[in-house]
A and B are shown apart, each in its own frame.
Chain A
Amino acid sequence: MTKIRQIFLQIPSLKRKWEQFLHQQGLTSFSEAEVTNLDFTLGLYEGQKLLGTGSISDNVLKFIAVIPGELSATYFNQIVSALQSYLVQNGQTHMMVFTKPQYEASFNYVGFKTLTKTIQGCLLESGNPGIQQYFKNLPNVSNQNQHQVAAVVVNANPFTMGHRYLIEKAAQENEIVDVFVLSANHSLFTSDERFHLVKLGVADFKNVRVFPGGSYLVSYATFPAYFIVSKDNVIRYQTTLDAQLFRDQIAPVLNIKRRYLGDEPFSHTTNIYNQTLKAVLPPKIQVVIIPRLQQGNQIVTATAVRQAIAHQEITMVKDFLPEITYQFIQDHQSELLERIGKGVNISGN
């Protein structure tokens, strides 16, 4: 008789056994940071023997492995089932998986639909609201396909003059600009705060629309390395999936023909992301790279703004920020400091 039990990875001895098990099943390339970000891990046991395991991070199923043999499919289904009911009990009815291509069929078999795949990886989703639902919430203008549409994707953590400059450029050179604000909540500013500040910050451009990126643009599922430090090859295949998903699924729906990027002098991860976009998007989508905005002799970055918040020197970066963002930071200074105190990463993206 098999039983599902939670594995508490905070306990070092259990964690060691769990890692050993994953190694035995050929899952080796995961970072400490990824493991720390897990919300829930379970094990399938026969007595004391571990037969399989699976984890959850946000709405993403991770680190699923079962022992090989006749019953491996049964064990796999039991684990996926248990993870799904955990998510649904916690009010999360949409879930995603990021896995190796050889496991695509196993997930298809239990109702997951493939969103995009490369030679190294494959991204699938299940449940509701799925990508079709996401598309329905993107209001098309009636004859969108006759317009020149460009897209800008920003985390805007927080929204700076630099973001505004990039969007302004796109707005001048195109008929419609769709701005996607990343939805993952792994940044100093929450997704609602970031979305709100972008929306207000570009309200005076009449041809700009702002959408949440949902699970499909640089999300925690498509591109975890954006939020947690990872190796270059990991970043490369994750960004490829993200770029393909944009090119094949999102861009056609909105008739997006161009994507505007800020040139990236600082962030290593974003720089690789830009290179991947340049490699994957054309010829369907033209990539336009805009040099970063400078104030005086300084380049405007949100990273500098977050550092200034941490050091309580917000006036130093006043020139970097639109009035609304600056006001917001002043009004919420103690709350932001508290988040930094709790360990939100401010030096990454």
Chain B
Amino acid sequence: MEIKKTVIAGTLESSDIQITLSPATGDNLEIELESDVLNQFGNQIKKVITETLQKFQITKVHVKAIDQGALDCVIRARTITAVQRALGQTEPAWEEL
């Protein structure tokens, strides 16, 4: 599946992460991550985002993530919300949670 509009979830506050999904420029998942702990946790953050997107079968999207030290559960929750906004789903996706 492919994301066709731009959506944002999350904030820039401490311990949160702001996820912006927008149409991909290439043919796959692109993740642009900004974080103070990029060297320590960059790969882990990208992994959580990628896995969450995969659960929704999203293969083509540009992700911009601005991390302020979010835990994995927060990263997952913000990604799910962003996807649901992009897909126009209003019911919580319980099985993904």
Top 9 nearest A-B pairs by Cβ distance? A93-B6, A81-B11, A128-B22, A77-B12, A111-B66, A81-B12, A128-B6, A88-B8, A110-B12
Contacts of B34-93 to chain A: CB distance below 8 A: 34, 62, 64, 66, 68
Contact with A along B8-32 (1 / 0, CB 8 A): 1001111000101011010000000
* Residues of B contacting A77 in the complex (Cβ-Cβ under 8 angstroms): 11-14, 68
* Residues of B contacting A84 in the complex (Cβ-Cβ under 8 angstroms): 8, 12, 18
Q: Can you list 20 A-B pairs with a CB-CB distance of less than 8 A?
A: A74-B14, A77-B14, A77-B68, A78-B12, A78-B13, A80-B12, A81-B11, A84-B8, A85-B11, A88-B8, A93-B8, A109-B34, A110-B18, A111-B12, A111-B34, A127-B8, A128-B20, A128-B22, A128-B23, A128-B62
Distance from B59 Cβ to chain A, minimum over Cβ atoms (Å) = 19
* Residues of A contacting B20 in the complex (Cβ-Cβ under 8 angstroms): 93, 127-128
Distance from B67 Cβ to chain A, minimum over Cβ atoms (Å) = 10
* Residues of A contacting B7 in the complex (Cβ-Cβ under 8 angstroms): 88, 93
Contact with B along A84-100 (1 / 0, CB 8 A): 11001000010000000
Interface residues of A (CB under 8 A from B): 74, 77-78, 80-82, 84-85, 88, 93, 109-111, 127-128, 132
* Residues of B contacting A78 in the complex (Cβ-Cβ under 8 angstroms): 11-13
**Among A88, A109, A111, contact of B64 (Cβ-Cβ < 8 Å):** A111
Distance from A115 Cβ to chain B, minimum over Cβ atoms (Å) = 17
* Residues of B contacting A93 in the complex (Cβ-Cβ under 8 angstroms): 6-8, 20, 22
* Residues of B contacting A127 in the complex (Cβ-Cβ under 8 angstroms): 6, 8, 20
Distance from A56 Cβ to chain B, minimum over Cβ atoms (Å) = 15
Interface residues of B (CB under 8 A from A): 6-8, 11-14, 18, 20, 22-23, 25, 34, 62, 64, 66, 68
Q: A77-B11, A132-B25 are in contact. List 18 more A-B contacts (CB 8 A).
A: A77-B12, A78-B11, A80-B12, A81-B12, A84-B12, A85-B8, A85-B11, A88-B6, A88-B7, A88-B8, A93-B6, A93-B20, A110-B12, A110-B18, A111-B18, A111-B64, A127-B20, A128-B20
Q: How far is the CA of A109 from the CA of B13 in the complex (A)?
A: 12
Q: How far is the CA of A93 from the CA of B66 in the complex (A)?
A: 15
Q: How far is the CA of A78 from the CA of B18 in the complex (A)?
A: 12
* Residues of A contacting B22 in the complex (Cβ-Cβ under 8 angstroms): 93, 128
Q: How far is the CA of A93 from the CA of B62 in the complex (A)?
A: 14
Q: How far is the CA of A81 from the CA of B78 in the complex (A)?
A: 14
* Residues of B contacting A128 in the complex (Cβ-Cβ under 8 angstroms): 6, 20, 22-23, 62
Distance from B3 Cβ to chain A, minimum over Cβ atoms (Å) = 11
* Residues of A contacting B23 in the complex (Cβ-Cβ under 8 angstroms): 128
Distance from B70 Cβ to chain A, minimum over Cβ atoms (Å) = 13
Q: How far is the CA of A109 from the CA of B34 in the complex (A)?
A: 8
* Residues of B contacting A85 in the complex (Cβ-Cβ under 8 angstroms): 8, 11
* Residues of B contacting A82 in the complex (Cβ-Cβ under 8 angstroms): 11
Which of chain A's residues has its CB closest to B32's CB?
A111
Q: How far is the CA of A111 from the CA of B6 in the complex (A)?
A: 15
* Residues of B contacting A111 in the complex (Cβ-Cβ under 8 angstroms): 12, 18, 34, 64, 66
Which of chain B's residues has its CB closest to A75's CB?
B13
Which of chain A's residues has its CB closest to B11's CB?
A81
Q: How far is the CA of A132 from the CA of B25 in the complex (A)?
A: 10
Q: How far is the CA of A131 from the CA of B18 in the complex (A)?
A: 21
Which of chain B's residues has its CB closest to A85's CB?
B8
* Residues of B contacting A88 in the complex (Cβ-Cβ under 8 angstroms): 6-8
Which of chain B's residues has its CB closest to A89's CB?
B8
Which of chain A's residues has its CB closest to B68's CB?
A77
Q: How far is the CA of A80 from the CA of B68 in the complex (A)?
A: 14
Task: Report yes or no: A81 in contact with B13, Cβ–Cβ below 8 A.
Answer: yes
Distance from A232 Cβ to chain B, minimum over Cβ atoms (Å) = 36
Distance from B94 Cβ to chain A, minimum over Cβ atoms (Å) = 25
Q: How far is the CA of A93 from the CA of B25 in the complex (A)?
A: 16
Distance from B56 Cβ to chain A, minimum over Cβ atoms (Å) = 20
Distance from B16 Cβ to chain A, minimum over Cβ atoms (Å) = 8
Which of chain A's residues has its CB closest to B8's CB?
A88
Distance from B4 Cβ to chain A, minimum over Cβ atoms (Å) = 12
Which of chain B's residues has its CB closest to A93's CB?
B6
